Structure 1
Amino acid sequence: MLTERQKRILWAVIDDYIVSAEPVGSRTVSKKEGVGFSAATVRNEMADLEEMGYLEQPHTSAGRIPSQKGYRFYVDHLLTPQKWTPKDIMAIHQMFSQKIDHVEQAIQHTSNILSQLTNYMTICLGPRVFIDKLKHLQVVPLSDRSAVSIAVTDRGHVQQQRITIPENVSFSTIERLVNLLNDRLKGVPLSKLKTFVARELTSELKRHIDHYENTLELLDQILHIQSEERIYTSGTTKMLEQPEFQDVEKMKMLLDFLEEDDRIIQLLEPSTNGIQVRIGDEIHIEEVNHCSIITASYMIDGEPVGTIGVLGPTRMNYRKVISLIDILSQIFSKQLNSMYEGK
C-alpha cells in the first residue's frame, strides 16, 4: 500500500510525464505545486516507487517514467474528474447542433469531434443492427426437422443459419409464415423485427398460420438475425504527432492492426459496465500493447448497441479523455435515440 507521500509523488511524476513525454527528475517533482517535499526526499521515494514497480528508469542518468502498474494506480486511485464550465459544455453541445439525418453520418461526426478534442485517434463501433433493414427472408428445407434460414438486408448483407423445425409444423405452414413475414417486414430495421412482430403481427399470424403456438420457436429462430458491424475511425495521423509513434515499427504494427476488423470489433464490444480503461498489456493485443484505450458504450432504449473509443499512447491524458468520452457518449446516445424514434 502506498503512503500519502508516495501517492502525491507518483501523481506528480505521471502528471508531468503526460505533458512533457520526458523522464521526470526529483528536482522537477519537488518544485511542482502541491508536492511540498525536498528533492532528496522525492528522490528516495521515487527509488522506492521504482522498486515497487510503479516507476521505471529508462536510462541510468535519466529521471523516471510511469510503468503500466503506475498508470493503473493513477487511473484507479489518483484521478479527479475534469471540471467543465458551462461554457465548455455549451461548446461541446454546439458541435452536435448541425442537422444530421443518417446514423452513419452521426457516428462519423461524433468520432471526428472526439478526435479533435482529445488529439488522439478515435475508433467507433457502429450499430449496424440498427442501420440495416430487412429486404427478404427465405427458408430452405434440409430434412423433415431442419432447414436453412436466409436473411438479406437492404445493404446486401446475407446471413444464413441452420434452424430446427418444431414437430407438427409442415413446410407449407413455413412457406405461408415466410410469405407473410416478407410482405410485412420488408424495410423494418433488424433491431425492431421481433418487437414489430409482437406488436403488429400477432393477431394476423394467429389467423393465417396453422398451429401458431408451435411456430413461435421457429419464428424466434428465423428472426434471430445478426448484422455485420461497421467501424468508424478518425485521427489516425494524430498518432504520428505523439513521440511514442516516431518509431516506424510501432506505427506499422498499429496500422496493420487497424486493417483487421474482427479484432477491432472484439476490442470494442459494447458493455453495460460504463467507461472502460485498458492500459498496455491489459488490451491483450500485441500490436497495441504500448497503447491505452478508453471506451464507453452508447445506448438505444437503454441497451448498449455500439462503442466509442479513444486510442492513444499509455502516456494519455486520462483525466481529459475519460471526461470527454463520458459526455460525448451521453450526448450521442440522446441523439441516436431521437433518430431511432423517428424511424
Structure 2
Amino acid sequence: MLTPRQALLLGKVVDGFSATGQPVGSKRLAEDPEVKAGPSTVRNELAVLEERGLLAHPHTSAGRVPTDAGYRYYVDELLPAATPAHELRLELVRREVVEAMRVTTETLSQVTNLLAIVSAPPIGTTTIRHIEVLALQPQVLMVVVITSTGGVSKKLFTFDRPVDPGLADWAGSYLNEKLVGTGLGARMLHSRLADPALAASERAFVEELSPAFTELAETAEDTLYVDGAHRLLSEYRFQDVSQLNALMEMLERRVSLLGVLTAALDSRDAYVRIGRENSEPALRSLSLVAANYGLPQRNLGTVSVIGPTRMDYARAIRSVRDAAFQLSRFMEELY
C-alpha cells in the first residue's frame, strides 16, 4: 500500500498524463495546491513510486508517466473513492434490439471518445416472435421469420407444382401457433414441428418448410456493434503505426474480439484490462473497460470501450456501467 501522499501523487500523474499526453514533472506537482510538499520531497516520492514499478521515465525528461502497474493501482485503489459526475443516458424505449445495440454503441463512443463495442445477445437466447408464409408466385413461397432480437430471415421455396393458397395460409397460422416463443435450437424446433395428428399432406408441407427454422441457428452469427474508430484516431496519437494496424486487423477478425469480450461476461463489476494484462497481442498497448448486461439470472452480452492506457478511466468505467445498466433494463422489459 502507498502512503496518502504517494497515492495522491500517483493520482496526479495519472490524471495529468491522461489530460495532456505529456510526462508530469515534480515542479508542476509541487505547484498543485493539493500537494503539501516541496519539489525535493515530491522528487523523492516520485523516485519511490518509480522503484515500485508504478511510474516510469519515458526518456531523459524529468517528468514521469504511469506504467501498466501504476494504472492498475489507480483503478483498483484510487478510483473507488472517486465520484465521477458524468452520466450517460440512452434512448432505448420502443426500439428493436438491433437498434438499441447501435444506439448504445454510438452514444458510448460519443461520450468517451473511445472505440465502443457492444456484443449482441447470443443466438441461444433468441426466440421466434412471428412467422409469415407468403406466396410470391403459384409455385414459389417465401417464409419470413422475425426473432425476439429484431432479426429478420427470409427463405425461398420452389415447388414442382402450384401451392394451394389455403394450404399456405394454414401453414402460416399453424407455424405461429407451434413455434412463436420457441428458441432457435434445431432439436427443439424439429420436435415442435413433428405432429402425428396432422394429415399426411399437411405434415409433408410443414416438413418442406422446416429448413426456414431449423437452419436459423446454423447460419446465425454472434454480432458485434462497433463505433468510434475515427474518434479514437483523432483524439489520440498512435506513436506506433504497427499498434494501430494490429487494432484495425483485430476489428476485422471479429472472432478474436468476441473471445476477449467473453471473458468479461463472468465479471460482477467493471472488467478492466490494462496494457500487457490483455491476452490479445493487438491490445497489449491499449486498455479495455467492459461490463456485462442481461437478465437477473443470465448475462447476455458486454458493453465495452477500448483506448490508450492513458484513457480517462473514471469516465470510461462510469459510462460503461451506465450503458450496461440501461441495456439490462431494456432487455428485462423485452424478454
Q: TM-score range by the shorter chain?
A: 0.7 to 0.9
Counterpart contact for 1:114–1:324, Cα < 8 Å: yes
Q: Which runs of 4+ in 1 moved over 4 A?
A: 181-185, 191-197
Aligned to 1:70: 70
2:261 maps to 268
| Residue 125, structure 1, aligned to residue 119, structure 2 | yes
Deviations 1:208-238 (A, max 9, x none): 9xxxxxxxxxxxxx9xx68631010010111
Q: TM-score under structure 1 normalisation?
A: 0.70
- Give 1:323's aligned residue: 318
Partners of 1:114 and 1:36 lie apart in 2 by: 37
Partner in structure 2 of residue 19 of structure 1: 19
Q: Which amino acid aligns with 1:289?
A: R
Report deviation, 1:293: 0.5
Q: Structure 1 pair 305/189, CA: closer, same or farther in 2 (3 Å)?
A: farther
Alignment-mate amino acid for residue 117 of structure 2: I
The residue that corresponds to 2:238 in the other structure is 245
Whole-angstrom distance in 1 between the partners of 2:243 and 2:186: 44
AA aligned to 1:264 is L
Q: Matches of 1:65 and 1:19 in 2, distance apart?
A: 12
Which of 296, 309, 313 is matched with 1:314 structurally? 309
**Which residue type is aligned with residue 79 of structure 1?**
L
Shift of 1:135: 10
| Cα deviations by residue, 1:89-114 (Å, 9 ceiling, x for unpaired) | 5xx44x416x5431111011001111
Distance 2:84 2:188 in 1: 40
Shift of 1:196: 11
2:95 partner amino acid? D
Q: For residue 39 of structure 1, what is the aligned residue in structure 2? A: 39
The one-letter code sitting in structure 2 at the alignment partner of 1:291 is: L
Counterparts in 2 of 1:82 and 1:46: CA distance versus 1, 3 Å: closer
Query: Partner residue of 2:165?
Result: none
TM-aligned CA distance change 1:282 to 1:83, over 3 Å: same
Q: For each residue in 1:71-129, what CA deviation from the matched residue of structure 2 results, as whole angstroms up to 9, or x when unmatched? A: 000000011465466xx65xx44x416x5431111011001111111111101110142
Q: Deviations over 1:253-310 (max 9, x none)?
A: 1101111111111111152423111101111111111110010011134310110001
Distance of 1:245 and 1:264 partners within structure 2: 20
Q: For the residues of structure 2 that align with 1:192 and 1:332, how far apart are their CA atoms?
A: 25
Once the two structures are TM-superposed, the CA of residue 320 in structure 1 deviates from its matched residue by 1.0
Q: Does 1:283 align with 2:278?
A: yes
**3-state SS in 2 of match to 1:79:** helix
- Does the 8 Å contact 2:30/2:38 carry over to 1? yes
Please give the secondary structure, in 2, of the residue aligned with 1:268.
helix
Within a 5 Å distance, the mapping from 1:1-343 to structure 2 comes to: 1-80=1-80, 83=83, 92-93=88-89, 95-96=90-91, 99-129=93-123, 130-131=125-126, 133=128, 155=153, 185-188=178-181, 190=183, 228-269=221-262, 271-274=265-268, 275-340=270-335
Aligned residues: 279
Q: Is contact 2:290-2:305 (8 Å) kept? A: yes
Residue ranges of structure 1 left out of the alignment (5+ in a row) = 137-152, 158-180, 209-221
What is the alpha-carbon distance in structure 2 between the residues aligned to residue 327 and residue 191 of structure 1? 30
Provide the alpha-carbon RMSD of the alignment: 3.6
Letter in 1 for 2:102: Q
Q: Distance in 1 between matches of 2:318 and 2:246?
A: 29
Q: Would you say the 8 A contact 2:114–2:305 is kept in 1?
A: yes
Moved more, 73-82 or 248-257: 73-82
Q: For 2:109, what is the secondary structure of its paired residue?
A: helix
**CA distance in 2: counterparts of 1:84 and 1:294, whole angstroms:** 16
What's the TM-score, normalizing by structure 2?
0.72
Q: Deviations over 1:15-62 (max 9, x none)?
A: 111111100100111122322111111111111211111101011234
1:302 and 1:196 map into 2 onto residues whose CA distance is 24
Identity of aligned residues (%): 30
Partners of 1:154 and 1:187 within 8 A in 2: no
